Structure 1
Amino acid sequence: MITPTGRKTLFCFAVLCASLAGFSQAKNDTQRITSGNPVFPGWYADPEARIFNRQYWVYPTYSAKYEEQVFLDAFSSPDLIHWTKHSHILDTANVKWAKKAVWAPSIVKKGKKYFLFFGANDIQNDQQLGGIGVAVANRPEGPFKDYLGKPLVDRFHNGAQPIDQFVFEDSDGQFYLLYGGWRHCNIAKLNKDFTGFVPFDDGTTFKEITPRGYVEGSFMFRKDNKYYFMWSEGGWTGPNYSVAYAVAETPFGPFERIGKILQQDSTVATGAGHHSVLHVPKTEQWYIVYHRRPLGETNGNHRVTCIDKMEFDEKGLIRPVKITQEGVQKQALK
């Protein structure tokens, strides 16, 4: 039998142990110098990384069965080490035409608004409702509301399935939409309010820029007056999913495939692909944010978001990325 005094002593001891454990955990968390991979828990894929308000942001796909992909979460960090989850920044409850397969968010800030582009419904032909939509919010963590009340792109142009969208802002302030699955990629010039497109000088709206090997997951950035166009190759459920790239003088190409820079390492993870690129302003720090599948995992939807360093050689070519368990070192934004 434990006396009241004994119970009080045990309770105090338990509280002390919990406090010490919490202190130890907090101390360990504070002392972390690398992000670790994955960078945050949960099944997430197709991550787009951005910098808003002196914070790193990652917007991924919730990696689950199509019928369960009815929302998007986001994650923010001051230093690539400590991440805060922002749940359900977009939900199909606020997008009447979107029912499932909400994929591959791409986000930009224009003026005081944040515009989130997303794919939905995984349409297989022009008769089905779905495609690429736009949502808008006043803050990077949302909540986002449907901007148009309908898809921005709801048809197959040049054979490209309307998925895997990426919004690229050129140095002159012009925004372009790059997108496409089914081994075709288009680029289109967005109008000023993102309600539609401005035709090119030849009268076309969607220009195909598909390079050799392209499957899906387009991404573009500009460095040293060159346009780096990147994409994913292989099947997204398989171990050989990977990322390749090309370089051109304009965002329209022509893009000749240079080679793969991100792929599986059989000692670390498989299926490394569908990525984005993060550059820390006024530094030479570049990162690739991507998803991969843990070793031994066979469920196609079990993908995790990771980050590793991306480097260039003296010619400006991207060096092959070494995927790691450690991730990247702490990098606060100034």
Structure 2
Amino acid sequence: MRKLLGLLLIAGLVHSASAQKKKTHAGNPVFPGWYADPEGVVFGKEIWIYPTFSAPYEKQVYFDAFSSTDLVTWKKHPRILDTAAVKWARRAMWAPSVIQKNNKYFFFFGANDIQSDQEEGGIGVAVADRPGGPFKDYLGKPLIDKFHNKAQPIDQFAFKDKDGTCYLIYGGWKHCNIARLNDDFTGFVPFADGTTFKEITPEKYVEGPCMFVKDGKYYFMWSEGGWTGPDYSVAYAIADSPMGPFKRIGRILQQDPAIATGAGHHSVIHLPKQNKWYIVYHRRPLTETDRNARETCIEEMHFEKDGTIKPVTLTK
């Protein structure tokens, strides 16, 4: 009996080692837990995902982050920022976007889900020496706390252009603005026409903007539909400038009734050495009806020869 148990143990260890060796995909979701609005970004040799903790607004009082070197194995970094470090934020901390500048990491986030200019909250910024934090409030107040061009100050995306100029692209309530950040990220630099917040809202835009550059073209992406409904999806446009104009081309990510619902609010990761592009997004499992039951997933993103994006297939 002892010999048999020994053989079984050895067989189990061999099987386990073989399984680990064969693991080439994280599988979807890429890490456990309810997380939404994921921002994927590459810092050095590490890939980071900064999501919203998906829960009722009153419980959305902190952010976790996840890092990987291979897109397969992910390490959790708990509570890299919370309301204890941001005195003006009390709930609904959403949709982080992180950018590196001068050896510092700047973490842009939405908080409080404000509904008018009279409420406290909006888009804030925190800073840290490392991508895993801990982050601390940078300004002691929101960076944007008012509605400009009717855009709710949420869903911020920090975009660094080819020349190093940094912009903040943001907006809910079906309006999207772009604003040029100043050198130390304490405010904004007005555009040549004197405006600070320029509206770039494309057709059917709802929320969740994202931008990247490929082959000299600016790809602007966003979420459409309602985040709790079956019509939630991602669409895009292409222009010669981060200011647009952006003419909607079509949807490239949407629910698959055989896989998941509520697919949307995404970001894009580019790995230049492999010349591979990935879309990082959230979706709702078919087994769930709670609106906050959202998980973070990744799919490879492919392009046609003319630069347009092929529709993304949801996978497990």
TM-score, normalised relative to structure 2: 0.96
How many residue pairs are counted as aligned between the two chains?
316
83, 94, 98: which one pairs with 2:85?
94
Specify the alignment match of 2:266 in structure 1: 275
Specify the alignment match of 1:181 in structure 2: 172
Identify unmatched segments of 5+ residues in structure 2: none
Q: Given the superposition, is the C-alpha separation of residues 21 and 150 from structure 1 closer, same or farther in structure 2, using an over 3 Å criterion? A: farther
Q: How does 1:50-89 map to 2 (within 5 A)?
A: 50-89=41-80
Specify the alignment match of 2:185 in structure 1: 194
2:231 is equivalent to residue 255 of structure 1: no
Q: Quick one: distance in 2 between partners of 1:208 and 1:85?
A: 36
Structure with higher RCO (Cα < 8 A, 6+ apart): 1
Specify the alignment match of 1:41 in structure 2: 32
Between the aligned residues of both structures, percent identity stands at 66
- In the TM superposition, structure 1's runs of 4+ consecutive aligned residues that sit over 4 Å from their partners are 10-24
217, 236, 245: which one pairs with 2:236?
245
Q: Given the superposition, is the C-alpha separation of residues 17 and 168 from structure 1 closer, same or farther in structure 2, using an over 3 Å criterion? A: same
Could you say what secondary structure the match of 2:249 adopts? strand
Q: Quick one: distance in 2 between partners of 1:185 and 1:129?
A: 21
2:158 is equivalent to residue 171 of structure 1: no
Specify the alignment match of 1:212 in structure 2: 203
2:247 is equivalent to residue 290 of structure 1: no
Q: Given the superposition, is the C-alpha separation of residues 18 and 131 from structure 1 closer, same or farther in structure 2, using an over 3 Å criterion? A: farther
- Note the C-alpha offset of 1:205: 0.2
Could you say what secondary structure the match of 1:316 adopts? coil
- Note the C-alpha offset of 1:312: 0.5
- Note the C-alpha offset of 1:35: 2.0
2:214 is equivalent to residue 223 of structure 1: yes
- Note the C-alpha offset of 1:275: 0.2
Q: Quick one: distance in 1 between partners of 2:118 and 2:2?
A: 66
- Note the C-alpha offset of 1:13: 9.9
Q: Given the superposition, is the C-alpha separation of residues 12 and 282 from structure 1 closer, same or farther in structure 2, using an over 3 Å criterion? A: same
Q: Quick one: distance in 2 between partners of 1:162 and 1:228?
A: 22
Could you say what secondary structure the match of 2:139 adopts? coil
Q: Given the superposition, is the C-alpha separation of residues 15 and 315 from structure 1 closer, same or farther in structure 2, using an over 3 Å criterion? A: same
- Note the C-alpha offset of 1:25: 3.8
Q: Quick one: distance in 2 between partners of 1:14 and 1:97?
A: 60
Which whole-Å deviations, capped at 9, do the CAs of 1:93-127 have from their partners, x for residues lacking one?
Answer: 00000000000000000011000000000000000
Specify the alignment match of 2:147 in structure 1: 156
Identify unmatched segments of 5+ residues in structure 1: 1-9, 326-334
- Note the C-alpha offset of 1:297: 1.2
Q: Quick one: distance in 2 between partners of 1:144 and 1:258?
A: 38
Q: Quick one: distance in 1 between partners of 2:2 and 2:177?
A: 65
Q: Quick one: distance in 2 between partners of 1:121 and 1:201?
A: 32
Could you say what secondary structure the match of 2:29 adopts? coil
Q: Quick one: distance in 2 between partners of 1:253 and 1:142?
A: 34
- Note the C-alpha offset of 1:19: 8.4
Specify the alignment match of 1:328 in structure 2: none
Specify the alignment match of 1:147 in structure 2: 138
TM-score, normalised relative to structure 1: 0.91
Q: Which amino acid aligns with 1:195?
A: T
Specify the alignment match of 2:302 in structure 1: 311
Select the structure of larger CA radius of gyration.
1
Q: Given the superposition, is the C-alpha separation of residues 19 and 86 from structure 1 closer, same or farther in structure 2, using an over 3 Å criterion? A: farther
Which whole-Å deviations, capped at 9, do the CAs of 1:131-163 have from their partners, x for residues lacking one?
Answer: 000000000000000000000000000000000
Q: Quick one: distance in 2 between partners of 1:22 and 1:102?
A: 43
Specify the alignment match of 1:120 in structure 2: 111
Specify the alignment match of 1:6 in structure 2: none
Over aligned residues, Cα RMSD in angstroms? 1.8
